[in-house]
Amino acid sequence: MSTSVDDLLEPSDLTKVMGVVNVTPDSFSDGGTFLDPVDAVRAGLRMVDEGADLIDVGGESTRPGASRVVASEEMRRVLPVVAELAAAGVRVSVDTSRVSVAAAAVDAGAVLVNDVSGGCDPDLLALVADRGVHYVLMHARGPSVDMSSRAVYGDVVSEVIAELEARLETVIAAGVSADRVILDPGIGFAKTAAHNWALLNNIDALAALGRPLLVGTSRKSFLGSVLAAGSARPRPSDERD
């Protein structure tokens, strides 16, 4: 596998696949499963064998209502996994909104910074610009702990597009090259199930922004609801694949 992200962004008939390894105790899907770095690395390598094009490593849960962990703990969780996967030739993305974690992860071999904060930290943007790594700009409306209260839209598609456009201008003004930016509509981040489906149904409008799209839908609660088969209880996350 190439360690560059460039070839993933070339026009293709095939959607590229990101495997996700959360080295956290509380992520909604795999929380607690990969706390041992050996298990996390093994999971990442298995995903690559199964066809994943890159592996995203996260050390802080961003599920609705999640509280933040301190930077040192986030770093302790992710760095061994990033380093081992990168040493094995895997393309690694680090899921973080902290400049200290991003810097250490890039030093360890990460080639992409997946920032779920919406580009709020100028220092993180400066780091990305300086290192020349690829950057995921996700639509967000505040931290996980209270983002559900911010899921209020008149027209979710037009508002998400407008907010992403404004943040993209800020990211580019900070020195990040436009051709290094990937946009993410932020499925489930300050969005209801109806908002998520509206965005997916209008993905072409998001693509019109002219940048590659990262769409993170796997196992999220809106899928559990639609798979409930008439039951009032959503299908559990490990039964949504």
Residue with tokens 């990033």: 82
Domains of the chain, each with CATH number or no CATH:
16-115 (3.20.20.20), 136-216 (no CATH)
- 238 close to 29: Cβ distance less than 8 angstroms: yes
Say which residue, 83 or 1, is predicted with more confidence.
83
- 92 close to 110: Cβ distance less than 8 angstroms: yes
The pLDDT value given to residue 92: 97
Q: How many CB atoms lie within 10 A of CB 80?
A: 18
152-185 residue pLDDT tens: 999 999 999 999 999 999 999 999 999 999 999 9
80-129 residue pLDDT tens: 999 999 999 999 999 999 999 999 999 999 999 999 899 999 999 999 99
- Total-model pTM: 0.89
